[in-house]
Chains A and B, each alone.
Chain A
Amino acid sequence: MVNRDTIFSVIVILLSIGAYIYVGDLTIESRFFPQVVSVLLIIFNVIHLIKNVRPRERKKMFRNIRFDRLIAMAVGLIVYTSAMVYIGFVLSSLIFMIFYMWYLNEERKSNGARVLLKSAILSIFVVGVFYGIFHNLFMIPLPVGLIFGG
């Protein structure tokens, strides 16, 4: 009875109730649409909940995958983005790219140093090219990082 679909629906129902209440003090023009949508969401998820209350065969969610790499990448994205705020675009991108090109490469177990070098060169090249295109050609200022006074 408690499976991923039912948990999902319960969460969404709670969120929708919250959404409905949150816009409560706005004018009717502003809150009409979000409230209608919240109600619809609640209705659909109640149906979904009822449909999935009965246990049934489900594919394993994380069947046969390399969980360690998955988590590493997911966490990596979060750390990369957070780091960018402090140390700037170029540094955080370099660290991210070099690390993951090295980490994801199967050959690093046998030839670690070489893989690291390859990753470094490629990363510096890619980051350099993109920085050039975005900063100099499109004139989009990329984050400099708080610790550098950005």
Chain B
Amino acid sequence: MAEFLQYFAGAMGHIFNLSNFLLMTLGVAAGIVVGCLPGLTATMALAVLVPFTFTMDPATGLMTLGGIYVGAIYGGCISAILINTPGTPSAIATTFDGYPLTKKGKGEHALVAAAYSSGVGGVIGAILLMFLAPLLVKVALKFGPPEYFWLATFGLTIIATLSAKSLLKGVIGGTLGLLIATIGLAPIGGEMRYTFGFYQLQAGIELIVALIGFFCVPEILSMVEEVVTEKKEIQKFKSQKGVAREVIVKLTKQPFLLIRSAIIGCFVGIVPGAGGNVAGLVSYNEAVRWSKEPEKFGTGVVEGVAASESSNNAEVGGSLVPLLTLGIPGAPPAAVLMGALMLQGMRPGPDLFVQHGDITYTFLISLVIANIVMFVLGFYGAKYVARLINLPASFLAPMIAFMTIIGSYSIRNNMLDVFIMVGMGLLGYILRKLDFHPGPIVLGMILGPIAEKGLVQSMMLARSQGSILEVFFTRPISIVLIILCLISAFWPMISEWNKKRRGESQGVSSNG
């Protein structure tokens, strides 16, 4: 403890050094801008800006990179809320309630909720990282192939929550997503699947390309096809006074929502390979389950936005746990950070805290501060950013279309991706007309590879150890996950049944 205080003092010195602080703030701002452009991810932002940090000393460089990471993960919510396109995959769940809020004219509410929850979640994640890293990493290591499989399956049960109208359609969507994800190199078998001679497809369909296609393009088409008379009323954002206060008070009255979401985010983050994409969705699902008014989710409630954003920023802290303690990145942006650390001569791993304690603690504490800075920027920016929606469709539609094209190209510098994006966009539009929500499909795409790897690797382990049942069903963490799967999958049915039961007993007493 004495050690920590010693480092703490040193860290404070570094952080509140004016030029360091300014650079970090600049990093957060840059991260937000990059994060909100669909097609540019946190990973890309870091990769591009790492060279600029070479000339800085390690503490400054790390603080700036940390700021960029935090900002970018938050930034994704801006486009998610305003144009239903997650700027980074971590913001997928933010679209579920964020965009409906914008359509109701409450864009600013959503943006403030996102800024506040991101800040709170991020701070909680950073604190958990700072104090519990060694403990958390032990849990992370216990995740072997069967656990990954059950984790992915648990993720898939979220489809039950997302498909309020038709469970069957949601399930079909999810399964389609699973199939789409098999395109490319088989993770274990190593053979090509469904590439039809296109060498670019060896890497499969890039998630962000599918996200932009399924979420954004249908919105562009909807914007364009709207009849003129209605246009004037929809999406008109009226600046209201006191929105920020109202939202913050509302959320602070529900501390469990934010704390629970943050913890989920941090835990998902520590499991390498699960990534921020999943954190937001799992947390959203839990928020729905624990809420007293679950039907309201999806129609535009700030709680939905809060759940997603709180957890994806906490995930930042989580993803750094395996990185800093073992040298294994928990998510792609963490991998870039690892590269940056190594180039500065700091090898992430158990020695990091011992050999470079002061810089490491500086970095950790700066993450907390960066989240606060991000909250401030988001909070004050919300009002102005929300206004962008007021622009007429004749400008917005081509503009957004242009951004989708440039964004989907930038991911892999690959023209085929743009064609895929457009194709998926048109497909997504048709699917929407057929009452298929894009959420389950995208969920299938994200979780498919994780489920497949877990499944096939487990079967290989079983082959050598002799028993499939033993491998899949007798491990402690697996059992916990299986129970979670069952609860999550059957929850909608249980809550329906509960409601009916309550309704009946009331009916009886009022009649009697």
Contact = CB atoms under 8 A, between A and B. Distances in A.
A/B: CB atoms within 8 Å of each other: yes
Interface of A: 4-5, 8, 12, 16, 19, 22-23, 26-34, 37-38, 40-41, 44-45, 47-48, 51, 61-62, 64-67, 69-70, 72-74, 76-78, 80-81, 84-85, 89, 93, 96-97, 100-101, 103-106, 122-123, 126-127, 130, 134, 137-143
Nearest to A139: B48
B46 to A, nearest CB: 12
A118 to B, nearest CB: 9
Interface in B445-470: 448, 451-452, 455-456, 460
Nearest to A69: B224
B346 to A, nearest CB: 26
B399 A84 contact: no
B402 A40 contact: no
- Name which of B188, B217, B220, B405 has the most chain A CB atoms within 10 A of its CB: B405
Interface stretch (B105-113, B305-313, B364-372, B407-415): B407-415
Nearest to A80: B405
Given A66-B227, A85-B415, 8 more contacts: A22-B194, A30-B186, A30-B190, A41-B172, A48-B172, A74-B221, A105-B394, A143-B415
Chain A's interface: helix, strand, loop or mixed, by majority?
A: helix
B434 A100 contact: no
- Name which of B220, B415, B429 has the most chain A CB atoms within 10 A of its CB: B415
B410 A134 contact: yes
A92 B415 CA distance: 14
A150 to B, nearest CB: 10
23 contacts: A12-B172, A19-B194, A23-B194, A31-B186, A31-B193, A37-B182, A40-B178, A41-B175, A41-B176, A41-B179, A69-B225, A70-B225, A77-B217, A81-B415, A93-B405, A100-B394, A100-B401, A101-B398, A103-B394, A104-B394, A105-B392, A130-B402, A141-B413
A77 B406 contact: no
B426 to A, nearest CB: 6
A106 B176 contact: no
Contacts of B409: 89, 140, 142-143
Interface stretch (B62-70, B96-104, B417-425): B417-425
- Name which of A5, A62, A70, A73 has the most chain B CB atoms within 10 A of its CB: A73
Given A73-B224, A141-B413, A30 B406 contact: no
A141 B406 CA distance: 11
A89 B406 CA distance: 9
A62 B225 CA distance: 10
Nearest to A30: B189
A119 B171 CA distance: 44
A146 B228 CA distance: 40
Contacts of B191: 26-27, 30
Contact of B456 (A32, A70, A85): A32
Contact of B227 (A65, A72, A123, A141): A65
Nearest to B179: A37
B172 A33 contact: no
B290 interface: no
Contact of A64 (B227, B394, B413, B426): B227
A113 B267 CA distance: 58
A66 B509 CA distance: 53
